[in-house]
């Protein structure tokens, strides 16, 4: 319980990994808190040292030499900034900041750990970790998370399954799903007849997220893939550009939010074709809901949870993400059936407005902060 509940509460979000304008951290959580009257600070790599939308940004140097340096040097930079800010509530977003969180707890601070992914399961599919080490690293990380979580003031998670894991440990955990902001991506004035015969993928670009199958699939169609985002690994981009279907890809690079809106406006469908893995089977990918919010059909992996969302709401098509031919057929059907595609898009927008919106999740976040205060 904070000692001065009537003062303007100072909150500080911390990340050593994400860019300062990360959608979940800055656009949704920090801006929501600032709008609710909290003095809101955000420490992030390469952030401008200025106030944007009532959020005070604090920069730490970007560490790009190696993961080990980032997990040590960058964490130290974040910790120094955190101490200088002297917030009432600290809210951190990266597993590598767990030791920092424990240090802040030891100083009597209120600390929230925001768990974006099921980290132990995610480690099992990290290709840069040698296969022989993945299970033992996953086990070790889970033990560390479980121990630390019980010392934090609260846990915020991105999916119900992750939340249930921490609730079983006796933690104060709430599920704040990463759903889209309605006003940002809803454009009911869009004229479907003016859309270009293209589809899009926006997000981090990796093999596990289906980039190679997307390229092979689009190469079997008469259309183009608008590819928004950056390749996580340079060697995977080298592989991608040598796939014949690359001729049907328009590489857009990293997109700001305005560019995301522009890309969604012109596209007839959005792709979210992640490979099934232990960490993905219960994930709720924000891009899927952003496509729905934008009123365009989703072409998604045939993961049971995603099929339930997409097919039950008739807002897209689910295909085998390992099968380029099935991906191509899904894309081609959308392009050649504009009336049906438009209806799917309308269904997606409607269900987001009813169920899958940030406006609903933001209330859960604000209630948590109110409870801590």
Do 157 and 240 reside in the same domain of the chain?
no
In the chain, the number of structural domains is 2
Q: Are 249 and 218 in contact (CB under 8 A)?
A: yes
- The predicted pLDDT at position 188 comes to 64
Do 350 and 361 reside in the same domain of the chain?
no
Q: Which two tokens stand for residue 36?
A: 């609710």
Say if 21 falls within a structural domain: yes
Say if 1 falls within a structural domain: no
Cα 117-56-22 angle, rounded to 5 deg = 30
Say if 42 falls within a structural domain: yes
Do 220 and 173 reside in the same domain of the chain?
no
Do 313 and 345 reside in the same domain of the chain?
yes
- The predicted pLDDT at position 3 comes to 43
Do 258 and 278 reside in the same domain of the chain?
yes
Q: Select from 266, 263, 265, 282 the least CA-distant residue to 274.
A: 282
Do 318 and 363 reside in the same domain of the chain?
no
Q: Select from 145, 153, 144, 142 the least CA-distant residue to 105.
A: 153
- Partners of 317 in the β-ladder: 299
Entry pTM? 0.86
d(Cα 202, Cα 286) in Å, to the nearest integer?
Answer: 10
For residue 115, what are the domain limits?
10-179+357-372
Task: Kindly report the CATH number assigned to the domain that includes residue 14.
Answer: 3.40.50.2000
SS3 readout for 46-73: CCCCCEECCEEEEEECCCCCCHHHHHHH
- The predicted pLDDT at position 189 comes to 65
d(Cα 129, Cα 208) in Å, to the nearest integer?
Answer: 14
Do 238 and 167 reside in the same domain of the chain?
no
d(Cα 305, Cα 356) in Å, to the nearest integer?
Answer: 14
Q: Which two tokens stand for residue 298?
A: 């989703």
Say if 120 falls within a structural domain: yes
Do 51 and 16 reside in the same domain of the chain?
yes
Question: Is residue 1 classed as helix, strand or coil in its secondary structure?
Answer: coil
Q: Are 236 and 205 in contact (CB under 8 A)?
A: yes
Do 44 and 61 reside in the same domain of the chain?
yes
- Partners of 155 in the β-ladder: 113, 173
Say if 132 falls within a structural domain: yes
Say if 108 falls within a structural domain: yes
From first to last of its 373 residues, what are the pLDDT tens digits of the chain? 444 444 689 999 999 999 999 999 999 999 999 999 999 999 999 999 999 999 999 999 887 666 666 777 889 999 999 999 999 999 999 999 999 999 999 999 999 999 998 877 877 777 777 788 888 888 888 899 999 999 999 999 999 999 999 999 999 999 999 999 988 887 766 678 878 899 999 999 999 999 999 999 999 998 999 999 999 888 999 999 999 999 999 999 999 888 999 999 999 999 999 999 877 888 899 999 999 999 999 999 999 999 999 999 999 999 999 999 999 999 999 999 999 999 999 999 999 999 999 999 999 999 999 999 8
Do 155 and 278 reside in the same domain of the chain?
no
Do 26 and 160 reside in the same domain of the chain?
yes
Task: Give the length of the chain.
Answer: 373
Do 89 and 134 reside in the same domain of the chain?
yes
- The predicted pLDDT at position 2 comes to 45
């Amino acid at each position: 319980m904070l000692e001065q509940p009537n003062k303007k509460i100072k909150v500080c979000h911390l990340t050593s990994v994400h860019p300062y304008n990360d959608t979940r951290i800055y656009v949704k959580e920090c801006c929501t808190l600032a709008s609710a009257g909290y003095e809101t600070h955000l420490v992030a790599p390469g952030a401008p040292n200025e106030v944007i939308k009532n959020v005070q940004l604090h920069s730490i140097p970007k560490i790009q030499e190696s993961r080990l340096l980032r997990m040590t040097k960058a964490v130290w930079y974040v910790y120094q900034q955190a101490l200088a800010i002297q917030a009432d509530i600290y809210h951190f977003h990266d597993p590598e900041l767990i030791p920092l969180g424990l240090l802040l707890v030891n100083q009597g601070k209120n600390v929230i750990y925001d768990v974006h992914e099921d980290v132990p399961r995610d480690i099992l599919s990290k290709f840069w970790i040698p296969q022989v080490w993945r299970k033992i690293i996953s086990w070790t990380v889970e033990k560390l998370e479980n121990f630390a979580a019980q010392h934090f003031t609260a846990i915020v998670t991105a999916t119900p399954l992750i939340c249930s894991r921490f609730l079983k440990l006796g933690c104060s955990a709430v599920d704040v799903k990463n759903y889209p902001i309605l006003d940002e991506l809803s454009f009911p004035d869009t004229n479907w007849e003016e859309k270009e015969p293209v589809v899009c993928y926006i997000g981090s670009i990796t093999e596990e997220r289906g980039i190679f199958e997307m390229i092979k699939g689009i190469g079997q169609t008469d259309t183009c893939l608008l590819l928004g985002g950056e390749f996580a690994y340079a060697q995977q981009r080298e592989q991608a550009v040598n796939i014949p279907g690359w001729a049907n890809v328009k590489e857009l690079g990293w997109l700001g939010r305005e560019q995301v809106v522009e890309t969604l406006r012109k596209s007839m469908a959005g792709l979210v074709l992640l490979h099934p893995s232990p960490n993905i089977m219960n994930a709720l990918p924000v891009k899927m809901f952003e496509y729905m919010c934008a009123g365009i059909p989703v072409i998604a992996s045939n993961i049971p949870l995603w099929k339930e969302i997409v097919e039950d709401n008739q807002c897209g098509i689910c295909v085998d993400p390992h099968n380029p031919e099935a991906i191509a057929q899904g894309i081609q059907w959308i392009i050649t059936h504009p009336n049906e595609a438009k209806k799917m898009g309308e269904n997606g927008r409607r269900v987001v407005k009813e169920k899958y919106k940030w406006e609903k999740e933001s209330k859960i976040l604000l209630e948590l902060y109110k409870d801590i205060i």
